[in-house]
């Protein structure tokens, strides 16, 4: 927290004061709309917490500029304001936020829209930074090579013997969904689809992966009995797995998502279902990486 406060103080004094005032105005709106018994705003958002939020935004923009060479332009911010106005599902709250900022379009753009643009671009650059995630990819590739070396007849046993990481298991119905088997109403983790890349020496494809659907509920969640249908996978991921997991012991390419790398091993496949083991190797988290960015720049 001390480092974050120091970063915030690197802002010009006038800008820091304005940023703190606007952040407090925004957080008051959110605080007033929270349900249930709550602490006072001053207890929830003491000055050091507000300063930390301002520092976080300043750090993100500085890292975006210094590490990736990206400057956030006025045009990008204006486009975000238009997007917020056009797509908001909470128009009353949006109106309250604007009123809290004195219905000043520039203050709203700087305090609300700009941080959204910065975070979105920075996360995208982080997720697509192949050099940054190379060590985890290398581990995933080495795992895949071990499984391939076991050949099809031994790949499943070799996969089950792996301990770090240990595989999970997934089973998909290959038959089309019928009216008697509607889409499950179970609330899966709300992980948005992310661009992912799957590739091997002989095959490469861009895929859109929804890791929550593939990997099941988060650790510690109660197991829920449900049926997964292969047709529910995103089309490109489905095509990758359909081509590569043709029978027992077949190993997929390394599949990259925003969260990490996955390798699939077919356990069994027939006309009705596909059963597979899945290895998940998480990338360094965005927040951990950001917290470590305390130097002016990173060697390319």
Least confident among 130-144, 185-199, 229-243: 185-199
Rounded Cα–Cα distance for residues 127 and 285 (Å):
10
Residue 183 has pLDDT above 60, yes or no: no
Instruction: State the sign of the Cα–Cα–Cα–Cα dihedral 172, 221, 290, 57.
Output: positive
Q: How confident is the model at residue 153 (pLDDT cuts 50, 70, 90)?
A: confident
Per-residue pLDDT tens for 23-78? 999 999 999 988 775 789 999 999 999 999 998 999 999 999 999 999 999 999 99
Tell me if the bond preceding 40 is cis, omega within 30° of 0. no
- What's the first-to-final CA gap in the chain, in angstroms? 28
List CB contacts of 71: < 8 A, sequence separation 6 or more: 65
| pTM for the full predicted model | 0.72
Per-residue pLDDT tens for 110-128? 999 999 999 999 999 999 9
Which of these, 32, 28, 24, lies nearest to 48 by C-alpha position? 24
Rounded Cα–Cα distance for residues 216 and 55 (Å):
36
HSE of 214, CA atoms in CB hemisphere, 13 A? 27
Residue 169 has pLDDT above 60, yes or no: yes
What radius of gyration do the chain's Cα atoms show? Answer: 23
CA angle 250, 254, 259 (to 5 degrees): 130
Q: What is the mean pLDDT of the chain?
A: 82
List CB contacts of 242: < 8 A, sequence separation 6 or more: 230
Most confident of 1-15, 179-193, 272-286: 272-286
> In the chain, where are the structural domains located?
2-129, 134-282
Residue 219 has pLDDT above 70, yes or no: no
Residue 39, pLDDT score: 87
Percent of the chain scoring above 90 in pLDDT: 67
Residue 293, pLDDT score: 85
Q: How confident is the model at residue 178 (pLDDT cuts 50, 70, 90)?
A: confident
Rounded to an integer, the average pLDDT of 155-169 is 95
Per-residue pLDDT tens for 209-218? 333 344 444 4
Residue 99 has pLDDT above 70, yes or no: yes
Residue 88, pLDDT score: 94
């Amino acid at each position: 927290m001390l480092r974050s406060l120091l970063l915030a103080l690197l802002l010009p004094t006038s800008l820091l004061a304005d940023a703190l005032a606007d952040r407090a105005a925004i957080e008051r709106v959110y605080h007033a709309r929270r349900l249930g018994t709550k602490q006072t705003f001053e207890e929830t958002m003491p000055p050091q917490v507000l300063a930390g939020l301002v520092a976080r935004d300043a750090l993100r923009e500085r890292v975006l500029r210094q590490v990736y060479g990206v400057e956030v332009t006025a045009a990008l911010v204006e486009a975000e304001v238009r997007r917020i106005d056009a797509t908001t599902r909470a128009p009353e709250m949006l109106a309250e936020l604007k009123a809290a900022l004195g219905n000043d379009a520039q203050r709203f753009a700087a305090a609300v829209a700009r941080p959204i643009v910065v975070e979105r671009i920075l996360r995208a650059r982080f997720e697509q930074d192949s050099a940054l995630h190379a060590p985890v990819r290398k581990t995933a590739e080495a795992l895949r090579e071990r499984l391939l070396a076991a050949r099809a007849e031994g790949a499943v046993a070799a996969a089950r013997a792996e301990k770090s990481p240990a595989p999970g298991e997934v089973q998909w119905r290959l038959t089309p969904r019928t009216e008697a088997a509607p889409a499950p109403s179970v609330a899966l983790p709300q992980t948005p689809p992310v661009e992912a890349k799957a590739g091997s020496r002989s095959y490469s494809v861009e895929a859109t992966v929804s890791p929550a659907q593939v990997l099941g509920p988060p650790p510690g969640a109660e197991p829920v009995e449900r049926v997964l249908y292969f047709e529910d996978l995103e089309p490109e991921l489905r095509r990758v797995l359909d081509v590569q997991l043709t029978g027992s012991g077949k190993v997929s390419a390394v599949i990259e998502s925003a969260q990490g790398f996955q390798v699939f091993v077919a356990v069994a496949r027939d006309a009705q279902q596909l059963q597979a083991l899945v290895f998940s190797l998480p990338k360094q988290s965005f927040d951990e990486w950001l917290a470590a960015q305390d130097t002016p720049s990173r060697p390319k």
